[in-house]
Chains A and B, each alone.
Chain A
């Protein structure tokens, strides 16, 4: 079993976007998740790979179904 997820930082606090098991997830479901991932990217988010404490921001990276991803909204100097 290999469970992975996408979460995002949001105005509601850290929120789940999707969670799946790579051994059982269907292709259709993965496509749905990828569409949501791309929607967040289009809104200016940056994905961070936090699988096994990698903690690496990956600007522009494509959806990776084998990664735990945290979507970081657009940032600016404040």
Chain B
């Protein structure tokens, strides 16, 4: 099973199969219906799944966070969470694997929505690289074309602290 280099680069983090009938286990069973054998293997070996996108590549972690990659370089970390359950309770009540599934589905089929909605942080970029990453992201915005300019501008402003 050929794992992408990005997962090797991010290191091993052993996935613990959830206890049967726990909240995490139910989400894991659902993901097993959705995932390819390769993706399931990635989750179990690396606690994350690699997704090749149009605007960037991603590793969605079992904890629910996402690493955004350009080639082998981490350009940002992203966070998109479930909220507003209908019982009125808030964020933390969802099991981590539920966040993982939501991020996985968004990046698989609604990548632009992810870029418009997730909080993206460039804190993992090395010192002195912020300006360079800013230029790369502006270029990406132009390539994306159909992404509303204002949304990208807002995102860049928020992320890079203009």
Contacts and interface: CB of A to CB of B under 8 A. Distances in A.
Contacts of B84: 43-44, 73-74
Interface residues of A, number: 27
Nearest to B158: A77
B20 interface: no
A35 interface: no
Interface in B10-50: 22-27, 29-30, 33-36
Interface stretch (B52-60, B105-113, B132-140, B142-150): B105-113
Given A12-B23, A78-B119, A70 B30 contact: yes
Interface string A39-56: 010011000101001011
Contacts of B98: 9-10, 13-14
Nearest to B120: A77
B85 A10 contact: yes
A7 interface: yes
B87 interface: yes
Contact of A11 (B25, B87, B101, B113): B87
Interface in A31-77: 40, 43-44, 48, 50, 53, 55-57, 59, 68, 70, 72-77
B156 interface: no
Given A9-B82, A13-B23, A77-B117, 16 more contacts: A9-B27, A10-B85, A10-B98, A13-B98, A15-B26, A48-B109, A53-B35, A53-B36, A56-B105, A56-B108, A57-B108, A73-B83, A74-B84, A76-B80, A76-B83, A76-B117
A75 B106 contact: yes
Nearest to B117: A77
Contact of B79 (A53, A56, A70, A77): A77
7 contacts: A11-B87, A12-B23, A55-B104, A72-B102, A76-B83, A78-B83, A78-B91
Nearest to B116: A77
A77 B118 contact: yes
B81 interface: yes
Contacts of A10: 85, 94, 98
A8 to B, nearest CB: 9
